[in-house]
Amino acid sequence: MADDIRSHKGPRHVAIIMDGNGRWATQRGRPRLFGHHAGARRVREIVEACPDYGVEYLTIFAFSTENWKRTQVEVAGLMSLFRRYITKEARALRDENVQVRFIGDRVRLDAKLVSLMDELELMTAHCTGINLTIALNYGGRDEVARATKRLAQDVADGRLNPRDVNEETLPKYLDTCVLPDPDLVIRTSGEARISNFLLWQSAYSEYEFVDTLWPDFTAGEFGRLMLSYGARDRRFGAVKA
């Protein structure tokens, strides 16, 4: 490993909005699902690159609460891809010591997919390597609304005093309660928006918007972003002495 990699201060938690699969397929005259399949194949390389840069948490946006607005063919194809992906990758993820979690609302997902998600979480719960979080039927606003509902229920049941609700209380109700906030959020495909991803958690994240379409995103490009992160000055509202 090169010295510049070993000595740099990298992000502990990287979150990625994997965007551009559809355009990648269209550019090749192929259906959008062709791009989603190509995109899914990129994930492993990025997961495997994480330890080289000291990244402990990787969170990837696979399907948003807004993506249901797409055609039935695309949505069904994506759901089938997720089922196949989990079935196919489960053993390799466990063997690579990757601890997998899912965030998002499972209520709208089909029972077969949810049971595969539960199984994969269980199967990798003991793993001590990279923490891979897959956001599936995830929306930041939906997550905050669901968290608020549970918080309100605790108040109604007398388990929580409204006077004790503060910035530390609410995150305990979020899907990400066991994760640190992302240090760096990357979005591929040239769009400079967050599309409802990790709204609460990314309040102080750094952002990288890159033009590469997700199926073309390589470990090499990921590595360059990890190294340039080290040059950033994160002030969190304070002034350096």
Q: How far is CA 86 from the centre of its chain?
A: 15
CA distance 152 to 132: 30
What is the residue type of 60?
I
Nearer to ligand IPE, 46 or 151 (CB): 46
Catalytic residue among 67, 105, 196, 216: 67
Q: Point out which residues bind ligand IPE (CB under 6 A).
A: 17-23, 61-64, 67, 78, 189, 191, 193, 195
Active site residue 67: yes
* Residue 10, binding choice from ligand IPE, Mg ion, none, Cβ under 5 to 8 Å by partner class: none
In the complex, least distance from residue 87 CB atom to Mg ion, rounded to whole angstroms: 25
* DSSP secondary structure code for residue 138 in this structure: E
Catalytic residue among 19, 142, 175, 183: 19
Active site residue 183: no
Beta strands 99-103; 206-209: pairing state = unpaired
* Residue 195, binding choice from ligand IPE, Mg ion, none, Cβ under 5 to 8 Å by partner class: ligand IPE
Question: Site mask, Mg ion, residues 11-40, x = CB under 5 A?
Answer: --------x---------------------
Closest chain position to ligand IPE (CB) = 22
Degrees, nearest 5: CA angle 132-133-139: 160
Ranges of beta strands (E only) in the chain are 13-17, 57-64, 99-103, 131-138, 184-187, 206-209
Q: Which residues bind Mg ion (CB under 5 A)?
A: 19
